[in-house]
Amino acid sequence: MTPDQAFTSFTNTMQALIAESSCTQVTKRGKKHKFKKPWMTQESFKVMQQRENYRKKVKDEPFNSKLSEKFLKYKNLTADALRKAKTEYYKNEFEEAKSNPNEKWTFINRILNRNKNSSEATSCLEVDGQKMSSPKEISECFNNFFSNIGSGLADKLPATNTDPLSYLSRLPHDERFDFWKFLP
């Protein structure tokens, strides 16, 4: 076997192993792409598409350093474009809400994901493979968990014969905490 044949065989084997070990998920999208975030612009979407094209090419030819460099360049361009678009979007939104305090706080709460309707109770809970759906069962399960967690953690601590006060005697006298210094 010549060196060229050996290299070709090695490359084919490596590509087959890479293809076999990589996990891919096929997703189908319609022709119209809806931006998932409000700050997504047409420009940032185009840069993302170019980045994805280079990602696919690098996946097909993982040992091509020029493609890897181009992909890295577009990866950084995408991050910069998204960062700028996001900053500009929030800056404009905040400027629009500047004159009205209610709008400003509504905007801030939306950014922080503070929804007024977010206090929904848990409707179903699964504990030890058993599903609970009644509010009474769920509340009892939470109560059992939180009332037993302290004793459960305490049981996991190793037993010791050391007096807890012995740790305090190692401190210099002037660094000890004394209650009588603070009491009238």
* Contact of 74 with 51, CB cutoff 8 Å: yes
| pTM of the entire predicted model | 0.42
Cβ-in-10-Å burial (0-12, 13-18, 19+) of 41 comes to: middle
Closest CA to 47 of 73, 86, 67, 69: 73
In the three-class reduction of DSSP (H, G, I as helix; E, B as strand; rest coil), residue 127 is classed as strand
pLDDT along the chain (184 residues), means of 10: 80 72 49 66 83 90 89 89 88 85 85 68 77 84 87 87 76 59 53
Closest CA to 57 of 68, 47, 49: 68
* Chain length of the chain: 184
Output the pLDDT for position 74.
Answer: 86
3-state DSSP percent of the chain in helix, strand and coil, to 5:
65, 5, 35
Output the pLDDT for position 20.
Answer: 62
